[in-house]
Copies of this chain bind each other. A is one copy, B any other.
Amino acid sequence: MNMKTILVIGAGRSSSSLIDYLLKQSEVHEWKIIVGDASIEAARSKINLHKNGTPIAFDIQQNESHAIIGEADLVISLLPPPFHPIVAVQCLKYSKHLLTASYVSDEMKAFDKEAREKHLIFLNECGLDPGIDHMSAMQVIDKIRSNGGTLLSFHSFTGGLIAADTDPENPWRYKFTWNPRNVVMAGQGTAKFLHEGKFKYIPYQQLFKRTTQVRVEGGDYEGYANRDSLKYIETYGLQGIKSMLRGTLRNKGFCAAWNVLVQLGCCDDTYEMDAVEAMSHADFLNSFLPENNSNIKQKLKEIPGLINSNEIDFLDWSGFFDDTPVGLNRGTPAQILEHILNKKWKLNESDKDQIVMWHRFVYEHEKKTKEIQSSLVATGSDSVYTAMAKTVGLPLAIAAKLILLGKIKSRGVVIPIDKEIYNPVLEELKTVGIVFHETES
């Protein structure tokens, strides 16, 4: 008997569904699942006494931790992206496959040759976004091409939101289901995309104003452009495409309200504010407002073009006009903002999140212009088995199974844009309710 071992590094927010799936599969395939985390308690709680699971204390920055990689057949790293190369070096040393849900960094790319030589697959970008977005898009793109069509335009938006029955009074329809710091810093820099053959640029100060309205399965959303929509033109083989835009989805009203914070400079992470220890929520907002004697809401309304609808209500719900102390001794605007937002945006135990993904493909087929829309709505079960944890973790878990069963032949540093990966992964995702709906016109 050849009992296989999977090592999962990281037992945080996005690991619950992944570990559950692997433990269930371990009963069928006689696998051993080792879960390593800096907190062995976190690892233990995810394994929940399953007979095939072993929790261990694992600290990527301690060399003694690395030897365990030698005992695995396949490693899934859920660590923050900067740590993946350290794991990759050990995987090369011990000849182990590696899976991540993170973007391929230049450092990761450099391992391609050695991984191929050792017949290893280093599969990255195999979560939700990046991950399911690649797989679901490439499945449609490959179908259009194999039917002789030519893609003219590709738009794709993904958002991690909250379900309709969660926090019904929360006007943002949003809570932190992912790294809160990344949410606060989102969009800084300039978004770049392609529109009808022209390069287009949206700076941060316009980003949350220039949104795209999107209707997905009966729901109305708005999307803002991601930083670089162009880099997947080559990856997806879309050279010559006229329009290409990837973005982030939010519920209606979110972007206009978030734009208020952006315009005021509340998301700035480049300097520390003064007198933070004595600062209230209202003081925080007021320090970015003109120095006249109007009250804060009035000042916001007096800034031309800033308040156009119910943005004040959003800020009010988040407590920005309260005299509550911030509760930090120091911090950049971004750090203080995150701290204030987290008081209302932290996921409660019974909260359900919701993932919404939407693609639109416009293509030419036999001299006619046609369109396919493809969409996914996935809802979490609670604050542990979130839609985010399912959609990030299950593609990794399914890919891990396929690799151990010898069903994936690709080797080297890859992302899931090839049929042999995306077809079986998307097929199995359907069985757990992660299903794309397609409409053609």
Contact = CB atoms under 8 A, between A and B. Distances in A.
A190 B270 contact: yes
Interface in A291-309: 291, 303-306, 308
Given A265-B206, A304-B209, A270 B201 contact: no
A273 B190 CA distance: 11
A200 interface: yes
Interface of A: 189-190, 192, 195-196, 198-206, 209-210, 262-265, 268, 270-271, 273-275, 286-288, 290-291, 303-306, 308, 333
B265 A203 contact: yes
Nearest to A292: B195
A287 B206 contact: no
A200 to B, nearest CB: 6
Nearest to A308: B304
Contact of A203 (B195, B288, B290): B288
Nearest to A283: B198
A201 B273 CA distance: 9
Contacts of A308: 304
Which of A195, A291, A306 gathers most chain B CB within 10 Å?
A: A291
Nearest to A265: B203
A255 to B, nearest CB: 13
18 contacts: A190-B268, A195-B291, A196-B291, A198-B287, A198-B291, A199-B275, A199-B287, A201-B265, A201-B268, A201-B333, A202-B265, A202-B288, A205-B205, A205-B263, A206-B264, A206-B303, A209-B304, A304-B308
A420 to B, nearest CB: 34
A212 to B, nearest CB: 10
Contacts of A287: 198-201
A273 B262 CA distance: 24
A261 to B, nearest CB: 11
Contacts of A199: 273-275, 287
A376 to B, nearest CB: 26
Contacts of A195: 291
Contacts of A306: 305
A263 to B, nearest CB: 6
Contacts of A204: 205, 265
A264 B203 contact: yes
A332 to B, nearest CB: 10
Contacts of A265: 190, 201-206
